[in-house]
Structures are given as C-alpha cells and as structure tokens.
A and B are shown apart, each in its own frame.
Chain A
Amino acid sequence: MSAPTTQAPTLAPAPRGGISGSIRDSLVVGKRNLIRMTRIPEMVIFGLIQPIMFVVLFTYVFGGSINIPGAPEGSAAAYKEFLMAGIFAQTVTFATAGAGAGIADDMHKGLIDRFRSLPMARGAVLTGRTLADLVQTAVTLAVLALVALLVGWRTHENIGKVLAGFGLLLLLGYAFTWIGALIGLSVRTPEAATSGGLIWLFPLTFISNAFVPVNGMPTFLQHVAEWNPFSATVAAARELFGNTIDGVPKSVTGAWPMEHPILASVIWSVLIIVVFRTLAVRKYRNATA
C-alpha cells in the first residue's frame, strides 16, 4: 500500500431512483453473474447434460412404447414431437435451483451484506441474478432445441409462433428463478438451496401434461394437472410449435387454462413473478447471513 494523496471525503452520487436506476443496477449485477458463469463453465455444462439425456432417453426408450389414449394407431412420431415441449418446459424450471444456490452462496460469502450496505436499487441484486439465469436458460434451451431437431423433432407452425413458444418457455423459467431467489434467501447453505429448489419440481412437472396426456390419469389428478401452472406453458408451447396430437382433447376436465393455454401461460408466469418477486425483495431487505 502506498501513501495516498489526501482528499476530502465525498458523498456517493445520489441513486438515480425509479425504474432507470433499478435497471442500471440490475444490469451491473447481472453482468457480474454472467462473468461468474463463464468462469464456472462446468455449471452450464452440467445444466445441459440432464435435459439432453431426457430428450434422448424419452425419444428412444419411451417414444415407441408410450400409448397415448385417444391417439390414432402408430403415433410414435407424434409422441416424440408432443414430448419436446414438456422436456423444454421442465428444463427451464430447473433454473430455480441455480438461482437459489447462487443467492444462498452470496449470502454465505457475505456478498449480500456488501450489496445491502450500498446505495443501490432495492431489488437489483435479485433482478440481476434472475436476468443472468434467464440468459443461461436461453442458451440451454437453444442447445436443447438443436438436439431435439437432431433426434427428429419438428415444428409445424410459422417461425413467429415457434419463437413465441420459446418466449413463453423463457418467461416461465424467469418466473421460476424468482421462486429460487426466495428459496436462496430462506435457507442456510447453497446445498440446501439446490435441493430445496429441485425436490418439489419433480411432482410439479410430472403431475402435468408434460410427458403424457392427462386423459390417462385418475380424475383427481386430471384436475390438478390441468390447473398446474406448468401445464399451461407446456400446452401453449405445444400449440405454438404445432406439436399437438390429433384426437387428444385440449382439456378433459374443461379447466379454463387448458382451453386458453397461451393466455393462461402468460397470466400464471406474470402472477408468479409478481408474488415471488415481492416476497423475495422483502426478504432480501431483512436478510441476515
């Protein structure tokens, strides 16, 4: 350390406040998280292996044998296409665990304290994190779509609709990272955040229309599955990709979200963002490591 030149202390510039300040701070934090991701590439790679395995296994192991009630004979090829929206949607929800673990790690390392002592926008630490996760999810989804194309997945709608389908998937993934953020702030260790971010995702994503049409389920589960927020996005993406199976009804219980999957997907995702962002930001303000 060398002797510095004596200078009078200065007040930090006033925070910009409002939306623009919030966006700026979120981008600063988001960039930090993206830099981290490039320095820990194994995290991104492991995040890819599991969904790729799902695409390949479901296509080759179950693809030929899953019997879709109501579907015409020989619908194996159709099932392959039907399935992809489900795997994509499940993959984006796994971002929950990443966001949770990242934030729990920041708490653990005292970085959240550092951020909380700075004159920055209130939600920016969490928004920055969720935005970085959104970028990672987009990359994962792009790779996954490529693999899906390789094993024979095709879309049957115009490019605008297909992109809209991916947009809804990303929105769902983004919404779920806010659930992850809340979990990350609520647990003591990054490990707990990872498992806390994953365990409930299995029932959530399996009691849905993601892997099999709900018409084969017991009536009670049919209701659960069709109101499941996750199912709405799966159905919406499936519709936008043109991957629905002829003969399989949109809804068996007449649930509103299944009748209007695109709108329902947007509503569910926005609702999750509003609720969990509010809870997470409140928790952040009172967080103690």
Chain B
Amino acid sequence: MPGAIYAEGLVKNFGDVRALDGVDLDVPEGTVLGLLGPNGAGKTTSVRVLTTLLQADSGYAEVAGIDVAKHPNEVRRSIGLSGQFAAVDEYLTGRENLQMVGQLYQMPKAAAKQRAGELLEQFNLADAADRPAKTYSGGMRRRLDLAAALIVKPPVMFMDEPTTGLDPRNRQALWEVIQDLVKGGTTLLLTTQYLEEADHLAHDICVIDHGRVIARGTADQLKAQTGGERVEVVVHQRDQIESARDVLAVLGKGEVAVDDHTRKLTVPVLGGAKLLADVIRDLDERGVEIDDIGLRRPTLDDVFISLTGHEAEVSEPEDEAAAAAAAGKKETAK
C-alpha cells in the first residue's frame, strides 16, 4: 500500500530548467521524511506539486490516498503547509491571521478563534498576538506561519525549511512540536538545510539533486554507505607523525591519511571505543604526544558532501550560530 505521501516519476519543467526529473517518494503514514538537497535541487518544487500549488508535467502523486492532480480540493483538506517563505498578512495581527486561516479551513468562527489562541501560546507568540505581523521579527513571522499550517492538525504536513531563521531555542521547541505531532500519527515531509535536524527528526531521508533522488534510506544507512568510523589523531610535533602513522597502520583498517600542515592523521577503523583505547595506549608507548584524538562517525554532512559534491548551503546569515553548532557536533568524541 502506498504511503500517506506517494509520488512516482514527477517531472516539472520551468522553460529550459528541469526542476523535477522523475522524483519518486513514498512516506509511510505516521513517519517523517527529510528531503535534503542543495539549493535549486527541486525541494520546494516537489513540495509545491504535492500541495496542489503546481501541476507536474508528468508523473503521479497522491497525498492521504487522494490523487493530487485529480482532486486537489480533497487533498487540501488533509494537509498543512508551511512554505519556504513565511506567508502571513503583515497588516493583520497574529491572532487575526490564524483565525482567518482557520476559517478558510472551514472551521466555525468560534473554533478558529479558540485554536488561534492555543497556537499563539504554543508558539510563544501570545505577547505579540494582537500586534500587526508587520512588527514581528523574521523568526516570529516564521513561527506564525508554522502555526497557520497546524491550525486543523491535518494528517499530512509539509514544511519547507521550517527552522530557517529560528533561534536555537525556538528551533528546539519546534522539534518538540513536530515530534509530538508525529506521535499523534501525523505524516510529515520536511525539507531542511540543517542535516542535524534531519538526523534528529526524520525516519527516512531522501537526497535530491538536479531534480532526481540520488539516495534514500535511514540516516544510519546513508552514513554507513558513506563510510564507517574513523579515528582522527592530531599529534603535538611534526616529527612524531611517522610513529603515529605506524601505530594507526597496524590498528586501522585501511590507508592512513596524513595532513602535514595540521599534523592530523585519519584512518578507517572497526571496533569503536575499545579500539580508540588501544590506539591511545600504543601511541603512548611509542612516546607520541597527542593534542587531540577522536572517533569520528560520518555525519549527514559527510553524506551530503560525498553525494552532491558540495556542502549544504545555509541561506540565511542570521543562522551562522546554528550552522556553527551543527558543525561543532561533527566530532562525536574528543
């Protein structure tokens, strides 16, 4: 049985640009799919096709068991969408925005009003609820937009880069909201540039580039494909590199990579923490002084880079801190 979100061979051209070149997706009910890919890969276009905003040139798509092209209005009843750019009416207050969206989801006025109040609390917007959205910061608008997507607790949700522009605390909080939704049975398709986020939230990951799915699987499967664990050692003095190389060559399972400039040696290993202890002991016996040593597992960043040949780009400058935090997490042990 196809999943709550299902797509087969989606193709979409914009003039000469082939934005989607045969995308297949299958997201089982109650799970989260992380859609990753570099800028221009076709993530937003996929979301727009699946949410009835755009008609594919060819291919078939189904959301909540309903044919997207044939019954768009039925699909719209079952989905919540938070697009890549916050779509809120600047001249309406946060509360008015949510109430309007609720009513257009066909909720009775009183119910829409009540739900708007709940969401404003939940998204930390209660204090600003009765100010025009024009006065909101970027992250506040983003949260208002996310709240609008959740107003009817739809069975299938689409979030296009939902945490772009959120500070770490609000990002964490959104993750909790998402995890809770999924616990309740919601199916979610999430695009993101923060691979840590996909790692954290997604059951399955799909990497697309140039409008094609180039890899799919769980985060662990993708990491395993990219390569296993490695030990990284930084020695204190350059003349100790050779001794260290000897030790790693014996204990490691493959070629030792050496960076003379940073005095860093890397070798693939099997055996995890136990082996790390052996490496430290042997290096010590040979009198090699260590500045830093760690067991490094491939991160999704590594997967991404090895698959697409370039790093995920973070589009908003205000997110440097978050990006740095994500980068810092690369070292799993130090």
Residues of A near any B CB (own CB < 8 A):
1-4, 6-16, 21, 25, 28-29, 31-32, 35-36, 39-40, 109-111, 113-120, 124, 286, 288
Contact = CB atoms under 8 A, between A and B. Distances in A.
Interface in B117-140: 121-124, 132
B92 A32 contact: yes
Given A10-B152, A117-B76, A118-B76, 15 more contacts: A2-B121, A2-B124, A2-B173, A7-B184, A12-B152, A14-B77, A15-B106, A28-B104, A29-B100, A31-B100, A35-B96, A109-B87, A109-B90, A117-B79, A119-B77
A116 B53 contact: yes
A110 B90 CA distance: 11
B83 A114 contact: yes
Interface stretch (B175-183, B195-203, B214-222, B259-267): B175-183
A118 B104 contact: yes
B92 A1 contact: no
B186 interface: yes
Nearest to B76: A119
Contact of A1 (B53, B124, B185): B124
Interface string B154-176: 11000000000000001001101
B173 A1 contact: yes
Given A6-B183, A7-B184, A11-B77, A1 B123 contact: yes
A9 to B, nearest CB: 4
A11 B154 contact: yes
With most chain A CB atoms within 10 A of its CB, the pick from B86, B103, B132, B154 is: B103
A12 B55 CA distance: 23
Given A1-B122, A9-B184, A113-B53, A25 B153 contact: no
Contacts of A2: 121-122, 124, 173
Interface in B1-53: 48, 51-53
Nearest to A120: B104
A150 B154 CA distance: 58
A117 B103 contact: no
Interface of B: 48, 51-55, 73-74, 76-79, 81, 83, 85-92, 96, 100-101, 103-107, 121-124, 132, 143, 148, 152-155, 170, 173-174, 176-177, 180-181, 183-186
B184 A6 contact: yes
Contacts of A35: 91-92, 96
21 contacts: A1-B177, A2-B173, A4-B122, A9-B153, A10-B152, A10-B154, A11-B154, A12-B77, A12-B106, A14-B106, A32-B89, A32-B92, A32-B96, A35-B92, A35-B96, A36-B89, A109-B89, A117-B53, A119-B77, A119-B106, A120-B76
B160 to A, nearest CB: 11
Contacts of B55: 286
A12 B105 CA distance: 6
A12 B107 contact: yes
Closest 8 pairs between A and B when the two form their complex, measured CB to CB: A1-B173, A110-B87, A114-B87, A119-B76, A9-B155, A13-B106, A119-B77, A39-B91
A114 B101 contact: yes
A31 B86 CA distance: 21
Contacts, number: 130
Given A9-B186, A36-B91, A119-B73, A113 B83 contact: yes
Nearest to B108: A13
B87 A113 contact: yes
B96 A10 contact: no
With most chain A CB atoms within 10 A of its CB, the pick from B54, B86, B184 is: B184
A117 B114 CA distance: 22
Contacts of B83: 110, 113-114
Nearest to A17: B73
A1 B77 contact: no
A12 B106 CA distance: 7
A13 B107 contact: yes
Nearest to B106: A13
Nearest to A287: B53
Contacts of A109: 87, 89-90
Contacts of A16: 106
Nearest to B96: A35
A4 B183 CA distance: 11
Nearest to A109: B87
Nearest to B134: A39
Contacts of B132: 39
B51 to A, nearest CB: 5
Contacts of A9: 153-155, 181, 184-186
Given A114-B83, A116-B52, A11 B78 contact: yes
A111 B174 CA distance: 22
Contact of A120 (B79, B89, B106): B106
A196 to B, nearest CB: 23
A29 B92 CA distance: 12
A115 B104 contact: yes
A14 B71 CA distance: 13
A124 B81 CA distance: 19
A76 B196 CA distance: 79
A182 to B, nearest CB: 20
Nearest to B154: A9
Contact of B104 (A1, A6, A25, A286): A25
A39 B90 CA distance: 10
A118 B92 contact: no
Contacts of A39: 91-92, 132
A8 B73 CA distance: 22
